[in-house]
């Protein structure tokens, strides 16, 4: 299985989660981990799963994430299994926003197939740290993604 985990991280919290998710997904195959602030906006051919995550800024995606995803303009993601996650502060989603919803919508609009529910992981305060238990919860979320990808592949 070939998997890409693409993330943006301003204070290191989302990077910590992306690394934990990637580590968990390595149990199923090869994982490429890409920081949108460093890596080029290239998609790997033959991906079996794409996971995209970033911090919530002004109720949605960060500008570096938007810019990176826009670098994929014109690329068809038809049928590609994708998942989205974000980091955000504690509070109701309607109040804090959640970048994962915008990420998932962007990917679906280009033909990708969402697996799992877009997930928010919580930070204590604007700069973090991650709330207790969030790294472990991100690993469990990654395992559920693999189950869903396998279920859809078998169908």
Q: What is the CATH number of the domain that holds 55?
A: 3.40.50.360
| pLDDT at residue number 101 | 96
Q: At which residue do the structure tokens 């305060």 appear?
A: 125
Given a cut of 70, the residues of the chain with pLDDT beneath it are: 74, 151-155
Total domains present in the chain:
1
* pLDDT at residue 10, rounded to an integer: 94
Quote the pLDDT of residue 93. Answer: 81
pTM over 0.85: yes
Q: Measured between alpha carbons, how far is 77 from 79 in angstroms, rounded to an integer? A: 6
| pLDDT score of 90 | 87
Q: How far is Cα 82 from Cα 5, in angstroms, rounded to an integer?
A: 10
State the residue range of the domain holding 12.
Answer: 2-154
């Amino acid at each position: 299985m070939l998997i890409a985990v693409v993330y943006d991280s301003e204070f290191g919290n989302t990077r910590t989660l992306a690394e934990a998710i990637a580590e968990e997904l390595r149990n199923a195959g090869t994982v490429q981990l890409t920081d949108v602030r460093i890596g080029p906006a290239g998609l790997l051919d033959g991906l079996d799963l794409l996971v995209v995550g970033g911090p919530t800024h002004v109720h949605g995606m960060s500008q570096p994430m938007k810019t990176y995803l826009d670098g994929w303009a014109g690329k068809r993601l038809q049928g590609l299994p994708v998942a989205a996650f974000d980091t955000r502060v504690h509070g109701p989603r309607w109040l804090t926003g959640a970048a994962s919803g915008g990420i998932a919508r962007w990917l679906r609009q280009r033909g990708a197939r969402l697996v799992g529910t877009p997930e928010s992981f919580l930070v204590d305060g604007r700069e973090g740290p991650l709330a207790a238990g969030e790294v472990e919860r991100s690993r469990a979320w990654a395992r559920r993604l693999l189950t869903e990808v396998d279920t859809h592949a078998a169908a």
